[in-house]
Structure 1
């Protein structure tokens, strides 16, 4: 009888008339047929997403509930699906059976290899029907589509904010937990975001990859270049109603207004000093931490502020950009010129 049951398990008497695949049960064939008919009878009551199988709806609901029933026994990471856990386990085993024939890179999953090979071929077979953007993977296209639909499937259970990408929710949750898993190997600076560490490292390396095409000034951050470009743009639509000064950015006007109101919303948790701008507080904190990220390439002197390094460099270059209008004496620092001007009673 046991032998007879084993034989029946491997029998597949139910055939799909569309593609020819065979199945051992009538229910399996019925579920398979939905891949041809595109029937999706199972609906999510939260976001309206539809699925052809009840099992897929169950897995999807975990994106709303945050349930992660599959746990890694090595590092305690948790996942919503068994396949995600299986992929994760290869991080610990180091198993990478799929190799690229072009460059030799190895991958733990066949799908990773397939996506990688497209970096060599330039192939982007997944196109957005709305804007025409092309992507190398189906998952990248799906994430992109949400920028058009506005779908935000991932919600924070603490504050209710919703996000279109799962990793965006994960990054956001660190605001609540205070977790800062990424740290600088040079000075120990820690951050909740890996991208911030990459930007921070430029304070050590001096790298400035963003260049102004007008004056060739370089910057470590794209945002700093964007701000700088406003100096070349004569348009200043944001006007101060108190003193008539105008600004190219609304943020600069808001910061300026605090000079009139006396508002200082940024406070030092160490000594209680208050500042009108967040950047001023950041510079002040270095007086407590002793951090001196700006280093001289000539003599290894270090400074807490970039402007101090710039002034110091003039001791090496001999540059004296501040000239006395009365006697033409030149100085390397503006403060030195001011002191000198008092000898002329100016």
Structure 2
């Protein structure tokens, strides 16, 4: 066999071996999670995902102690403490720490409430708000106050309530001395001391002092809404 033939066969043999090797298709997810079956193209992505199942949160904030599963989430959280709000709404001027919060806020200006409750008809701008609202219909109150034992369906409501016990940012009515956890709650309460009824039913024109009374009226007492149901 001549050296020329050997040299020629060599490259052909190498090409043949390369052709026999399995080629990974673009987007192929060869690493899958044993817990949920979700696949990833890179092993590092799989390891990052598996933290969800272990519940491990090794990255904690030095300022408030809140812990996170990923370093990126911690960095995003720390912007809250920096007080830097680089994303502002060009319609109302309200500023936000994250661009995602600004996008979520902009939906409130559109007036579109695409997510409605199939139990009471109340509509929401965001799906997350609807999910939080649905808990109120379940009757489940999984969050309780450690001080007075009062139960709440949402953790945010419980945390707001705790301000009454801690005295932090408590709003007091200067007419009757009643305390409230939020300024909005105080403002609603103030209408009870006046004859003002700013909340009007768009079905029968009846007015109310609080949005709670208006919603109750529309659900159970409004003659127009009853007719709509019957029709």
The TM-score by the shorter chain falls in which range? 0.5 to 0.7
Alpha-carbon distance in 1 for matches of 2:157, 2:94: 28
1:183-222 to 2 correspondences below 5 Å: 183-184=116-117, 189-213=122-146, 216-222=149-155
Query: In structure 2, what is the equivalent of residue 104 of structure 1?
Result: 36
For residue 240 of structure 1, report the CA deviation from its aligned partner: 3.2
Shift of 1:157: 3.6
Q: 2:76 aligns with which of 143, 151, 162?
A: 143
Q: 1:24 maps to which residue?
A: none
Deviation of the 1:140 alpha carbon: 0.8
2:116/2:122 contact within 8 Å kept: yes
Structure 2 residue 107 is matched with structure 1 residue 169: no
Q: Secondary structure of 2:205's match?
A: coil
Q: 1:155: which partner in 2?
A: 88
* Structure 1 vs Structure 2 CA RMSD: 3.7
Which residue of the partner structure matches residue 273 of structure 1? 206
Q: CA deviation at 1:126?
A: 4.2
C-alpha contact (below 8 Å) 2:32/2:40 kept by paired residues: no
Shift of 1:122: 4.6
Please, which runs of 5 or more residues in structure 2 have no aligned partner? 1-26, 227-231
- Residue 246 (structure 1) aligned to one of 158, 173, 177: 177
CA 1:106–1:214 in structure 2 vs 1: closer, same or farther (change >3 Å)? same
User: Which ranges of structure 1 fall in alignment gaps of 5 or more residues?
Assistant: 1-89, 291-346
- Alpha carbons 1:180, 1:191 under 8 Å: kept: yes
Alignment length (residue pairs): 192
TM-score (normalised: structure 2)? 0.63
Q: How far off is 1:247 after superposition?
A: 0.8
Whole-angstrom distance in 2 between the partners of 1:181 and 1:139: 31
Q: Deviations over 1:10-31 (max 9, x none)?
A: xxxxxxxxxxxxxxxxxxxxxx
Preserved contact between residue 117 and residue 123 of structure 2 (Cα < 8 Å): yes
Q: Check 1:259–1:205 CA distance in 2 against 1; reply closer, same or farther (3 A cut).
A: closer
What TM-score comes out, normalization by structure 1 length? 0.45
Structure 1 residue 231, shift from structure 2 partner = 8.4
Structure in which a larger fraction of residues adopt helix: 2
1:76-87 matches, within 5 Å, as none
Counterpart contact for 1:230–1:248, Cα < 8 Å: no
The worse-fitting range, judged by mean Cα deviation, of 200-209 and 104-113 is 104-113
How far is 1:118 from its partner?
A: 1.5
- Describe the SS at the equivalent of 1:105: coil
1:3 aligned partner: none
CA distance in 2, matches of 1:262, 1:156: 35
Compared CA separation, residues 155 and 216, structure 1 to 2 (3 A):
closer
